[in-house]
A and B are shown apart, each in its own frame.
Chain A
Amino acid sequence: MKRFIILLLLASAMLGVAFAQFEGVEATIVTFTGPQIAEPLQRRSPDFEALTGAKMNVVTVPFSDLYQQILTDVATNTNSFDGFVFAPQWMVDYIVPGFLEDLTDRVAADSDLLWQDVAPFFRDFSSTFEGQIYTIPLDGDFQMVYYRTDVLEENGLEAPATWDDYINIAGSVDGQDMNGDGEPDFGSCIAKKRNAQSYWMITSVWGAFIQSQGTSQGAFFNTDTMEPLVNNAAFESALDVYLATTEFGPPDELNLDVGDTRGLFTSGRCALSIDWGDIGTLAIDPTTSVVQNKVGAVILPGSTQVLDRDTGELVDCDANTCPFAVNGVNHAPFAAFGGWSGAVNAAADPLVKDAVYAFFSYMNQPAQSNIDVTIGITGFNPYRVSQFENLPLWITAGMSREAALNYLGAIRESLNSPNMVLDLRIPQNQRYQQIVLDTAISQLLAGELTKEEAMQQIYDGWQEITDELGLEDQLSAYRSTLGVQR
């Protein structure tokens, strides 16, 4: 611990020299109503003020309305906020009209940021659009599979490597008592509630079937034609997996959001779950968890067959079809939502912009973020390479050595994967995902649609939006987010 305090002091001293110029500057930063995310911002803003003189007011908005409210605010030129802490998934809707400040030069000039220490995916994809940097990551978000180490061990099972394994495990442990209350518990809990997180879950499943050639290949559209990749054998396999998991889930799984599945998992009622990094830190918190050190994490399961984009059929993995496969299994970890990031309002005062940037940089620097990512309440998950090497930090936070190694290993494996799936970031992505995809998946789960109807409905719905917004524009935006050069 001492080492970090010294480090902190050292960093503070350096910062003090670097940023003393913000005396009297005041800025408003908006994020959603915490305690997560808002808590560390509020906690650290007095320290930042002591260092630089800039006062950061953190205001909050309910999570479900954050996107709309920020956009309304900037689009009508109200500009109540100087900085935003939001999901980089939304950024294209803000960048295209010119609402966000380009931070490329500031990042390049900022040596305290240790930008190279930020995991490559977040540097090159998550915070970047058309080669320019617009957001500073504060949180690393991608999905993993969590499993109960004790339950799997008792049954002589290994952590799932493929989605078939996932279903087999879920099926064989479903109905066992996993928390000692004498009641049967569930094989798998996935948040399948409509208009919640369900569409990220299904994307986590389909990623491995559809994307195999690296992040730039994209998992939503064909990068040449903008044709949706949702009406083919690979997508159908993913739907089969998704439907199969429902059989081993709680009876009201269709009405569970991640809050519910996290509760179920940490109260020991599920053997498997798909989630962001949060379960890892929630599971070590004695006020919420009865499964301390019984939780393992693993990179999202993969597939031994992937989509051949020319034929729309599944083909077996080999060196050509799955260049990044591990043991013949193609993994495609999904950076769902993208991790809370800071962005600067382009319409703010120049000095205020600098101050807001300095604040995000301060939050991002290892001295601060390496501590914040181990605290459950911050909602921050690790995103820096150095954060995986600081094992003591995680053990201090309450993890056993094995659990910490296991958790960090899964994160590191996901983050280092060159085949990470980037969340959809083209303009109006909310319509593609939250409206069309989410509704069709929900109708499929509820039995309102067959698989074929659901795939057709997503395909048609996506085509319709693309036509409405202009095929060329959407295609070039899609390629830009994936870093594809023309």
Chain B
Amino acid sequence: MRSGGRPEGTLQGPDASQTRRSRSLRERIGSWFDRNAGNVFLLPTFLIVLLLSIFPFLVSAYLSLSRIRFVRGGFEITFVGLRNYRKLIKGSEKRHFLGVFGDFSLISWLILIVFVALLGYALWRYLRSGHRISAAGVIYRIITFSILSYGMWYLLKTLSSGGRPGTLAVTFIYVFLGIGCQYLLGLGLALLTTQRLVGRRFFRVVFLLPMMITPVGIAYTFRMLTDTDKGPINPIWKLLGLAEVSWVTSPWGARWAIMIGDIWQWTPFMFIVLLAAIEGLPEELFEAAHVDGASRWQIFWNITLPQLVPVSVTVVLIRMIEAFKIVDLPNVLTNGGPGTATESLTLHSFFTWRALDLGGSAAIAYMLLIVSLFVGISYANLLQQRAQR
């Protein structure tokens, strides 16, 4: 497991020989603290996170392998092995969790072939890059790419005609489409507000607002807005002759309603980080390019964008981890309906949990953990390391 940060800082702990002169207790304690400064900085955080997370982690892991039942005098936890997981992957929850597989169309095949070809190209580039190739690296990449191709195959299969995406596929849709839109919008807005325009500070503050509202509040607000009957878009809807049509009762309409809410809420996060990144780019680069007569488009494509890659990678990773847990919007806006069309993994887990099936709920949460950990790690490894080069 390698994470993505940059190479370590270069300051080493203070030289021990310097600090061994004095004898008094106070100074000795002081020098001990100086020598162990690294640990003093890191340990509090490390211990707080460890203590508050390891217990829930283990308890949920155990719950996911067990079944809870109320009996005379209290409750009883029975160990059932992997049964909760089997139920999701093979048993009665399979159609709910994974979805229903449809028939591959020509387009699905094309997308899959292009995707696999891209992965193959990435592997080829790695092999040709010459430096730092190791057998482990090659095997690791082959395994990762196979799993990614399999994931793509799964997504296409549930999305093709006759298929139906399960909560896993729906979560992927939210994560990838949602983050894609958020990133592009955030980048666009950031570019617009870095121009020397009158009133840009007003726009900057306004654009930050959606992030400030409690997610539950946003969800209810969007429920008001998307109501085709008494919501504000009702007249427009009627004008278009759609009075008899409701978007929240069609699967993709409902998914888009949720993604619009999500995009509305989280574009500001992308926006503010990218804005700051653009503002921070060294002025000289632009001036040189401008003098050379480069067009705005050329400046953006050849100077701004490459400089933004590292920060983009980090911000997308942070958003991805949060987006995998999307729950408030689908819960309030559609309650996962129509059918199971908008149910995310966390919502699936939440529904199960609310009906007191703690084992089943923990199993779903752990599937989510495995999937997002895999996506997060491969993303960090494959993209972030490249971005740092």
Contacts and interface: CB of A to CB of B under 8 A. Distances in A.
Direct contact of A and B (CB under 8 A): yes
Interface of A: 64-65, 67-68, 71, 75, 93, 96-98, 193-196, 250-255, 257, 260, 263-264, 269, 427-428, 430-431, 434-435, 439, 442-443, 445-449, 460-461, 464, 468-469
B71 interface: yes
Q: State the majority secondary structure of interface residues on A.
A: helix
A252 B339 contact: no
Greatest chain A CB density within 10 A among B251, B355, B357 is at B355
9 contacts: A68-B353, A251-B244, A255-B248, A260-B227, A439-B340, A442-B337, A445-B338, A448-B164, A461-B92
A97 B335 contact: no
Nearest to B331: A195
B355 A71 contact: no
B70 interface: yes
Interface string B336-365: 111111000000000111111100000000
A264 B228 CA distance: 13
Contacts of B254: 255
Nearest to A449: B339
B164 A255 contact: no
A393 B334 CA distance: 40
B67 A194 contact: no
B70 A430 contact: no
Given A439-B96, A439-B339, A439-B340, 17 more contacts: A97-B75, A98-B72, A98-B73, A195-B351, A251-B244, A251-B245, A254-B249, A269-B229, A427-B69, A431-B356, A431-B357, A434-B354, A435-B352, A442-B338, A446-B251, A448-B339, A448-B341
A251 B69 contact: no
A68 B354 contact: yes
B334 A443 contact: no
A195 B335 contact: yes
A430 B355 contact: yes
Contacts of A75: 74-75
Interface residues of B, number: 38
A470 to B, nearest CB: 8
A71 B75 CA distance: 11
A97 B74 contact: yes
Contacts of A427: 69-70
Contacts of B96: 439
Nearest to A72: B356
B75 A254 contact: no
Contacts, number: 118
A448 B71 contact: no
Contacts of A67: 354
Given A68-B354, A461-B92, A194 B336 contact: yes
Contacts of A448: 164, 339-341
Given A254-B337, A255-B334, A468-B67, A428 B356 contact: yes
Contacts of B161: none
A402 to B, nearest CB: 30
A439 B357 CA distance: 15
B119 to A, nearest CB: 32
B246 A97 contact: no
Given A71-B356, A251-B246, A431-B357, A93 B338 contact: no
B276 interface: no
Given A195-B336, A447-B339, A468-B67, A96 B92 contact: no
Contact of A93 (B72, B73, B228, B356): B356
Given A252-B246, A252-B248, A431 B355 contact: yes
Question: Can you list the 5 inter-chain pairs with the closest CB atoms, starting with the nearest?
Answer: A252-B246, A446-B339, A194-B337, A446-B338, A195-B335
Contacts of A260: 227
